[in-house]
Amino acid sequence: MYMDILQRLGDLRELMTREHLAAFIFSSTDPHQGEYVPDHWKGREWISGFNGSAGTAVVTLESAALWTDSRYFIAAEEQLRGTGFQLMKLKMPGTPTIAEWIGKECGAGAEVALDGWCSSANAVRELIADLRRQGGITLRTNLDPLAQIWRNRPPIPENPITIYPLEYAGETAHDKIARIRKALRERHADGMLMTALDDIAWTLNLRGSDVHCNPVFVSYLLISSKDVTLYINKVKLSPEVVAYLKTEGVGVDDYENVAKGLKDYFEYNILLDPDEVNYVLFKTVTREIVEEESPVKRMKTVKNEREIAGFRSAMLKDGIAMVKFLYWLSGISGKSGLFGLSGETELSISDKLASLRAEQPLYRDISFDTIAGYGEHAAIVHYEPTPETDIPLQPKGMLLLDSGAQYLDGTTDITRTIALGPLTEEEKKVYTLVLKGHIQIELCKFPSGSSGTQIDILARKDMWREGLNYLHGTGHGVGTYLNVHEGPHQFRMEWKPAPLVAGMTITDEPGVYLPGKFGVRIENTLLITPYKETEFGQFLQFESLTLCPIDKTPIVWEMMLPEEIDWLNRYHQRVFDTLSPYLNDEETAWLRDACAEL
């Protein structure tokens, strides 16, 4: 593999020399600022070999470096070996910023470049300012070297689109567009350009399969006070979809025509979210720009009654599949005996779990690549087993399993950490701290409009007393048969102003990762519901949508508060009552034991 990388770096440097460029910057995203991107835009992975979801690669004529966050430190270290890329660990002391590093490597006055289609307006504007401070380095944004040097580059996907039934969506596209127009008027905007693929899919009640695990389709949506235009490769549209779009008042134009559409946009102003719209399109606009967060982002996160019913249905099915899987795993894991793990590996159990999910009605796909990390692999936060890294499970230690599915009625995301046999005291203590953190979030009641930054600490406070922490967020929104990561609300240490309101989904997934030893994460997906209204306003609470037992065997009971034990008992009772009607006798017996009160 690294030989390929060296060849590609050679081709790139040749092109850079021709273009008089001192460096080229590869972002991790695409013209739609997606987290998962179609292969066509995986330029950063192609040039560096690093396949994590977040990372920026920079190549100079002499050197190369890749910036990524703590989730990927271990994976990146391995994937970059032999490529010449130096790993830059974000948020670690001593790590230079991209601009600082370029300043040092290229010197004042250099010209560097990136593809302005594949970075947001804000990202590019910040980079331009940062580079200017490095003795005046300038940035060129109109070059995509991959068009010249990437042989056999995958095309932009052309998969067919389907209509998302109203019984699951709960609101017509026509009505959503009316709400969006109202939100635009409140922001004194005449129209907007929508570029986020999940926002477009949600608005139009359409789904596609252009992006791995995310049922979205590559397109832009331009809304003015009079028209709505979908910019898309028309080959994707069946006659049925064409007719549907017409009914909902949506016109269609070619994907390549979006820049022309923006140039021709004739109203006084247009709302563009500078964190979402790519730099090239942003610069195309000649009208007044209202720079604000896209109002669709937040509208999409507040689920309506049909969507919530769909989530409950999807979670029931997902819980059944998970319990069938855990029952199967317990049979071979030696927990109920000592007969070993029958040659099962991280990959084989991931396949087993996927096949059990696929048996459920309305199953469509997994919602992200399964993270099945056994033993020290679990300390690699976003470890996804490959044939090269796959290892057999053994009847000891812990398995971290983070997985989810796309059902037509909802998207799921669940993590369990499962003891496969005897554990060390450290494993038990850390497991218990993570579980306490998880439960403290579940128990939280809070004023409507609180931010996830306020609530996040409840998952961490007990581990902080032990000097432990985790550097990822504690939770993210989940889409309705859409992206498993849905913003803007989150639980995290960093400031997230998005207020939490009733109807939002959010995951609760604290963890602790000890490199070379083990990792623990416990995750449910929660729904925000009303709690009580008092003279101090409306208070909200969380309801666990996820239905699956949490392994009790690693728990150090003396570390648990009575309210935490009580929550676990109540949760397990609900899991048992809800799932057992759908299980056979053996599975029910196993579940009864797994959910037994303490």
* Parallel, antiparallel or unpaired: strands 56-60 and 23-26: antiparallel
Nearer to its own copies, 182 or 187 (CB): 187
Residues 6+ apart with CB under 8 A from 566: none
451 counts as binding its own copies under rule CB under 8 A: yes
- Amino acid 67 reads W
CA atoms within 13 A of residue 194's CA, in its CB half-sphere: 28
Output b/e per residue, 79-103; b: 16+ Cβ within 10 A: bbeebbbebbbbeeeeeeebbebbb
Task: In angstroms, give the least distance from the CB of 136 to its own copies.
Answer: 14
Closest CA to 338 of 386, 260, 395: 395
The 3-class secondary structure across 491-505, one letter per residue, is ECCCCCCCECCCCEE
For residues 556 and 426, give the distance between their C-alpha atoms in angstroms, rounded to a whole number: 10
For residue 307, how far is the Cα from the chain centroid?
A: 20
456 counts as binding its own copies under rule CB under 8 A: yes
Task: In angstroms, give the least distance from the CB of 443 to its own copies.
Answer: 8
Binder of its own copies out of 378, 444, 506, 548 (CB under 8 A):
444
Site for its own copies in 516-535 (CB under 8 A): 531-534
Nearer to its own copies, 212 or 461 (CB): 461
Residues 6+ apart with CB under 8 A from 266: 224, 287
Stretch that binds its own copies, among 202-210, 363-371, 464-472, 566-574 (CB under 8 A): 464-472
455 counts as binding its own copies under rule CB under 8 A: yes
366 counts as binding its own copies under rule CB under 8 A: no
For residues 290 and 292, give the distance between their C-alpha atoms in angstroms, rounded to a whole number: 6
Nearer to its own copies, 252 or 457 (CB): 457
Nearer to its own copies, 152 or 534 (CB): 534
Nearer to its own copies, 159 or 454 (CB): 454
Binding-residue pattern over the window 285 to 314 for its own copies, x denoting contact by CB under 8 A? ------------------------------
Nearer to its own copies, 328 or 539 (CB): 539
Q: For the chain, what percentages of helix, strand and coil (3-state, to nearest 5) are there?
A: 40, 20, 40
Nearer to its own copies, 54 or 457 (CB): 457
For residues 409 and 407, give the distance between their C-alpha atoms in angstroms, rounded to a whole number: 5
For residues 302 and 506, give the distance between their C-alpha atoms in angstroms, rounded to a whole number: 11
Binder of its own copies out of 147, 465, 581, 585 (CB under 8 A):
465
Binder of its own copies out of 128, 143, 259, 457 (CB under 8 A):
457
434 counts as binding its own copies under rule CB under 8 A: no
For residues 193 and 273, give the distance between their C-alpha atoms in angstroms, rounded to a whole number: 8
Angle at 231 between CA 228 and CA 237, to 5 degrees: 100
Binder of its own copies out of 90, 252, 468, 565 (CB under 8 A):
468
Dihedral angle over CA of 549, 550, 554, 559, nearest 10: -120
By CB under 8 A, the count of residues binding its own copies is 30
Collapse the DSSP code of 259 into the 3-class scheme (helix H, G, I; strand E, B; otherwise coil) and give the result.
helix
Binding-residue pattern over the window 491 to 520 for its own copies, x denoting contact by CB under 8 A? --x-x-x-----------------------
Binder of its own copies out of 94, 155, 239, 467 (CB under 8 A):
467
For residue 463, how far is the Cα from the chain centroid?
A: 25
Task: In angstroms, give the least distance from the CB of 314 to its own copies.
Answer: 30
Task: In angstroms, give the least distance from the CB of 141 to its own copies.
Answer: 25
Site for its own copies in 9-38 (CB under 8 A): none
Task: In angstroms, give the least distance from the CB of 290 to its own copies.
Answer: 13
536 counts as binding its own copies under rule CB under 8 A: yes
Binding site for its own copies (CB under 8 A): 443-447, 450-451, 453-458, 461, 464-465, 467-469, 493, 495, 497, 531-534, 536-537, 539, 561
